[in-house]
């Protein structure tokens, strides 16, 4: 639970950064572009340390993958780079796969709730950022 | 009672309110409400941003005099780029047309490009466009102009046409670089590089492999593209 809280705080800071960059404040876009790899690195670190996920390597991989895809698709949406729709679609697909797996195979709703939150917040922001 | 109310506010309403604020901010546009009158005389407003590139003039190329006269056009264009009143693309296009009309006599004469894409001519122009940089522009253009003048395989018409094109390319390249050095920030350079690199990867060219490679290599492929662009922007800023 503690790691989830930490993850929520760090990801919300990144969302705030993207949000400020989308307003047009100079050098915030560059900061968000450079912050994304660090955030992904942090997410990998948090997941590798998670005891529960260590037992389910498949879930761990999928969770890291969809979160990374969401972060990258948010950056793509911010810069309106080519391929933003493709990456957004893939991140949604991987997150949905994660939800299905955690519900059906592992009977664990916590991971599914986190995936839904990612879809709603990061996915929602990526979808509404102007083209 | 007050405590439960506070808890209810924080727990139940915090997320929807945050979402609404985010949506409100994203829907705000930065457009000006009032139309801005088009300024027809750009030069009166401008200070001199660009100086004519006399050092690029080759005595053997008669078209280089147009390269000097086009400087006033590029200078006005640089002023136009810097004027926030023309951020709107339609207003910019309108102003650009006026600018072209104003500098009609300063620009290069029209080039007859009929039967152009034939081996040698294409090769000469390509060797210039592929190898030109901000540093070697003078040496490269002079050597290519010398090659054009000495090449016996070219007809007089082709020779004239090539000299005109090389002159046009070298001066426009130089002035465009100068303009980008005036306005381009480090962030813009990284952004431009990201756009062009990702544009090549996600190009609608019927070949899905670059896209598949990028997606399969994510997030490492994103790190690589970003690192390449930051490195390129750093190199350009050192120059």
Chain-centre distance for alpha carbon B32: 25
- Average pLDDT for B93-102: 90
Mean pLDDT of B216-235: 92
Helix (H) or strand (E) holding B177: helix B156-183
Q: Give mean pLDDT, residues A49-70.
A: 85
The CA-based angle B100-B104-B105, given to 5 degrees, is 150
Of A23, A36, A40, the CB nearest to B25: A23
Residues A37, B26: C-beta atoms closer than 8 Å: no
A86 in contact with B, Cβ within 8 Å: yes
Minimal CA separation from B158 to chain A, in Å: 40
Domain boundaries, chain A: 2-128
| B22/A128 touch (CB, cutoff 8 Å), yes or no | yes
What pLDDT does residue B22 have?
52
Residue B38 in this model has a pLDDT that exceeds 60: no
- Please tell me the predicted confidence (pLDDT) of residue B47: 65
Per-residue pLDDT at B231: 92
Evaluate whether ipTM surpasses 0.85: yes
At A73-96, the pLDDT tens digits run: 999 999 999 999 999 999 999 999
Q: Is B26 near chain A, with CB under 8 Å?
A: yes
Percentage of chain A exceeding pLDDT 70: 97
Percent of chain B whose predicted confidence (pLDDT) is above 70: 77
Cβ-defined contact of B201 to A83 (cutoff 8 Å): yes
Query: How much of chain B, in percent, has pLDDT values that exceed 90?
Result: 33
Average model confidence (pLDDT) for chain A? Answer: 89
Domain extent listing, chain B: 42-183, 186-238
Yes or no, beta carbons of A29 and B203 under 8 Å apart: no
8 Å CB contact of B215 and A90: yes
Contact residues, chain B, for A83 at CB < 8 Å: 198, 201-202, 211, 214
**Measuring CA to CA, which residue among B107, B31, B54 is closest to residue B76?**
B107
Quick check: B176 and B208 in contact, CB under 8 A? no
The predicted pLDDT at position B205 comes to: 83
**Which is higher by pLDDT, B166 or B110?**
B166
What's the pLDDT tens digit per position in B115-166?
666 688 888 988 998 888 888 999 999 999 999 999 888 888 888 889 999 9
Q: Is the pLDDT of residue A17 over 70?
A: yes
Is the Cβ pair B187, A30 closer than 8 Å? Answer: yes
Q: What values do phi and psi take at A109, rounded to 5?
A: -85, -15
Whether the full predicted model's pTM is greater than 0.95, yes or no, is no
Distance CA B23, CA A127 (A): 11
Query: Residue A36 pLDDT > 80, yes or no?
Result: yes
A83 touches chain B (CB under 8 A): yes
DSSP A37-91: HHHHHHHHHHHHH-HHHHH-HHHHHHHHHHHHHHHHHHHHHHHT-TTHHHHHHHH
pLDDT digits (tens, 9 = 90+) for B45-92: 556 788 888 999 999 999 999 999 999 999 988 888 888 788 888 888
Mean pLDDT of all residues in chain B? 80
Contact present, B213 and B222 (Cβ < 8 Å): no
Burial of A115 (0-12, 13-18, 19+ CB in 10 A): buried
Query: Burial level of B96, CB count in 10 A (0-12/13-18/19+)?
Result: middle
Which pLDDT band holds residue B28 (cuts at 50, 70, 90)?
A: very low
């Amino acid at each position: 639970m503690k790691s989830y809280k930490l993850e929520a705080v760090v990801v919300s800071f990144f969302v705030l950064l993207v949000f400020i960059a989308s307003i047009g404040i100079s050098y915030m876009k560059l900061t968000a572009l450079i912050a994304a790899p660090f955030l992904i690195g942090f997410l990998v670190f948090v997941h590798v340390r998670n005891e529960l996920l260590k037992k389910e390597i498949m879930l761990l991989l999928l969770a890291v993958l969809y979160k990374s895809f969401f972060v990258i698709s948010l950056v793509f949406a911010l810069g309106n780079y080519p391929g933003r729709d493709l990456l957004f679609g893939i991140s949604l697909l991987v997150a949905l796969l994660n939800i299905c797996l955690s519900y059906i195979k592992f009977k664990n709703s916590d991971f599914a709730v986190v995936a839904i939150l990612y879809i709603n917040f990061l996915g929602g922001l990526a979808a509404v950022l102007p083209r | 009672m007050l405590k439960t109310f506070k808890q209810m506010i924080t727990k139940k309403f915090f997320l929807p309110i945050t979402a609404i604020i985010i949506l409100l901010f994203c829907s705000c546009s930065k457009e000006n409400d009032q139309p801005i009158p088009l300024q027809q005389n750009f030069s009166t407003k401008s200070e001199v941003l660009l100086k004519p590139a006399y050092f690029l003039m080759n005595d053997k190329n008669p078209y280089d005099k147009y390269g000097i006269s086009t400087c006033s056009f590029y200078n006005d264009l640089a002023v136009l780029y810097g004027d926030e009143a023309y951020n709107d693309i339609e207003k910019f296009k309108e102003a650009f047309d006026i600018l072209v009309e104003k500098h009609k006599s300063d620009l290069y004469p029209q080039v007859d490009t009929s039967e152009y894409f034939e081996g040698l001519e294409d090769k000469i122009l390509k060797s210039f466009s592929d190898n030109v940089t901000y540093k070697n522009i003078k040496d490269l253009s002079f050597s290519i102009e010398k090659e054009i003048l000495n090449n016996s395989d070219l007809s007089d018409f082709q020779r004239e046409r090539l000299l005109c094109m090389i002159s046009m390319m070298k001066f426009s390249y130089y002035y465009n670089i100068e303009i980008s050095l005036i306005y381009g920030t480090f962030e813009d350079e990284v952004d431009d590089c990201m756009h062009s690199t990702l544009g090549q990867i996600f190009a609608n060219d019927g070949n899905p492999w670059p896209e598949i490679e990028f997606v399969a290599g994510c997030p490492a492929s994103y790190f690589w593209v970003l690192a390449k662009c930051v490195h390129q922007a750093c190199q350009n800023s050192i120059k």
